Amino acid sequence: MRDKELIGRVLDGNKHALETLISRYKDWIYNLAMRMVIIPEDAEDVTQEILIKIITRLKSYDESKAAFKTWLYRIVVNHVINMKKRSLEKAAFNFENYYERMDYIEDRQPADTPEIKALVYDTMINCVMATLICLNRIQRLVIILGVIFNINSKVGAEILEMSRANFRKILSRSRKKLKNFMSQTCSLVNKHAKCKCNLKITELINYGHRDPDNLIYDKLIHTHRVKDMISGRVNKFMNSYFYKFNDLFQSQPFWQGPDMKLWLDRAIKSEEFKDIFNLGTLNNIN
């Protein structure tokens, strides 16, 4: 069923249509939120905040002004640009201090166990995503849309309400900043770089920074990588100079978002439903 039909049914009070519409976009919203805030619990909160905004504004959607996806993702990006700072953003990471703590972590060959291998992988996911925190929010969004989700400049510019030239300029500069920074420091981009996840993990455990029994992303469900989910062929982004860098980000998991059906059911049953979902006929949702 097309978005337009679903929206019509939602506004007529059809609960199933609302669940279907949310399910269609929640994973993409959650994965974008995850790459903005890095921590799963923060990303879940952001996703819920965004879905509330989308639902409460459905009645105002005008298909003559924008495609529904564009309208929806404008709400998403406006929210994440203006939301309160989350935990990692408060740490004020930048390209000068991001790897600073690693200079004091001695390299050691780790134990060859499934638990340590899982922790190394979990740490790699966290560290690669967290480099995005070194960019400001607009730069981060452009990287997420243009590099990770492989969205072209026409669509990216429309979502961010800027010119295509400006989108391409921000994308080029931000990508070069990340690429140059990670080439100097991260062995996943440059095998000769000083920071190697597996060699740091033993001392990170000893210092109490990482715990094999408390992984960050192990409870999240994923069956695909980002590159499996993006439409069309994976573009090599103009030249092979950037390919390994882009592939690193696109090879990360594409996670299933939290179960918003349970959240929606609770919201519908709450006394505050009318105030939260100011949607006229949807107040009598069946």
> For the purposes of burial, counting CB atoms within 10 Å of the CB of 34, is it exposed (0-12), middle (13-18) or buried (19 or more)?
buried
Q: What is the pLDDT of residue 170?
A: 97
Structure confidence by residue, pLDDT tens digits, 174-216 = 999 998 999 999 999 888 988 999 999 999 999 999 999 999 9
11 has a pLDDT exceeding 80: yes
235 three-state secondary structure: coil
For residues 100 and 118, the model is more confident at 118
> For the purposes of burial, counting CB atoms within 10 Å of the CB of 152, is it exposed (0-12), middle (13-18) or buried (19 or more)?
middle
Q: Which pair of structure tokens corresponds to residue 61?
A: 């959607």
Q: What is the pLDDT of residue 274?
A: 56
Mean pLDDT (whole number) for 139-159: 94
75 has a pLDDT exceeding 90: yes
Q: What is the pLDDT of residue 280?
A: 46
Q: What is the pLDDT of residue 237?
A: 41
Q: What's the mean pLDDT when you consider all of the chain?
A: 87
Q: What is the pLDDT of residue 233?
A: 46
Q: How far apart are CA 143 and CA 137, in angstroms?
A: 10
192 three-state secondary structure: coil
Q: Where are the domains of the chain?
A: 1-85+256-286, 92-254
Mean pLDDT (whole number) for 254-266: 84
Q: How far apart are CA 119 and CA 215, in angstroms?
A: 7
219 has a pLDDT exceeding 80: yes
Q: Which class does domain 1-85+256-286 fall in?
A: mainly alpha
Q: What is the pLDDT of residue 136?
A: 95
Q: What is the pLDDT of residue 10?
A: 87
96-110, 137-151, 212-226, 254-268: the lowest-pLDDT one: 254-268
21-30, 68-77, 98-107: the lowest-pLDDT one: 98-107
For residues 174 and 100, the model is more confident at 174
Question: Could you tell me the pLDDT band of residue 34, with boundaries at 50, 70 and 90?
Answer: very high
Q: How far apart are CA 182 and CA 197, in angstroms?
A: 13
Q: What is the pLDDT of residue 15?
A: 83
Q: How far apart are CA 206 and CA 186, in angstroms?
A: 22
Radius of gyration of the chain (CA): 21
Q: What is the pLDDT of residue 236?
A: 45
